[in-house]
Amino acid sequence: MQNKLEKQVLRIMFLGDIVGEPGIAMLEKWAPRLKDEHKIDVVVVNGENSAKNGRGITPDIVKMIKDAGISVITSGNHVWANKKIMESFDGNSILLRPANYPSTCPGRGYAIVNVGGLQLAVVSLQGRVFMHEDLDCPFRTIESLLSFLTPKTNLIFVDFHAEATSEKQAMRYFLDGKVSGVYGSHTHVQTADERILPNGTSYITDIGFSGSLNSALGVDQKIILDRFLHQMPVHFKVEKKGPMVMQGVWAEVDVNTGKSLKIERISFVDEEIAAG
């Protein structure tokens, strides 16, 4: 069934990739404030890098994110990095793995949540270009999934966790008019191309990340430079020095049509937080 209209517009906020302790510290401090400031109804975050070491996610962090008022946690190619997370999937619908992973994997790639009497669907999807090319096709996966979700709600949002800009932009046109929003993640570099597409889908190529501002995508920049200069294996270490940055988007959607009315980027620096 489609939504019963208890309100005319819905506001959703997507916060991008939470990296280690700095990202969690920013989330705990700012998610409730941003929710109040922008009158947000539901918050989604990408949490696949939120573990202390910046790779994967743990059951304790899932609880921390949930306690911060987050309704859904999306993920991507690092979702299995911490083996303890396996126990969280079956009984925890807040945490998603990409929908185009094999059906034999733990968990599922979508969630349907109740937001003030409205049914809203969030899908986690992963790209293949420069990533796991043996995954199921993300385009055919979402096409199949929409045949299940669309009769239930016209409020559908997709986190497309992908490396290549070309793949993300192809997905935006593939889904324009079929979903309310398509928001890219994975690169940790926020793009400035947020827009409402011709058929009413809100889009941005990458929502960015939450972590240390003066880092290499959340990692100690010296380690990354050594990797590029010497081409030797390195052990990544999350940068904990401030200032910290939080990035993402929020969008306003007409609940009658499921079409987006507005999308705005979130990007700001906190000079006070220091993690660890």
User: How many Å apart are CA 49 and CA 81, to the nearest integer?
Assistant: 9
Distance CA 190, CA 267 (A): 8
**Is residue 45 a contact partner of residue 236, using CB atoms and an 8 Å limit?**
no
Of 119, 58, 113, nearest to 89 by C-alpha is 58
The rounded distance, in Å, linking the Cα atoms of 230 and 101 is: 34
- Single out the residue of 42, 38, 14 nearest to residue 118, CA to CA: 42
Q: How many C-beta atoms surround the C-beta of residue 267 within 10 A?
A: 14
User: Any catalytic annotation for residue 38?
Assistant: no
Q: Which one of the listed residues 38, 78, 132, 161 is annotated catalytic?
A: 78
β pairing state of 202-204 and 195-196: antiparallel
Longest Cα–Cα distance of the chain, Å, equals 59
Task: Quote the CA–CA distance of 110 and 161 in Å, as a whole number.
Answer: 14
Stretch (H or E) spanning 211: strand 211-212
57/255 Cα distance (integer angstroms): 32
Q: What is the DSSP letter of 112?
A: E
CA angle 100, 49, 70 (to 5 degrees): 80
| Residue located via tokens 């593939």 | 174
Q: Which two tokens stand for residue 217?
A: 């995508």
Just list the catalytic residues: 78
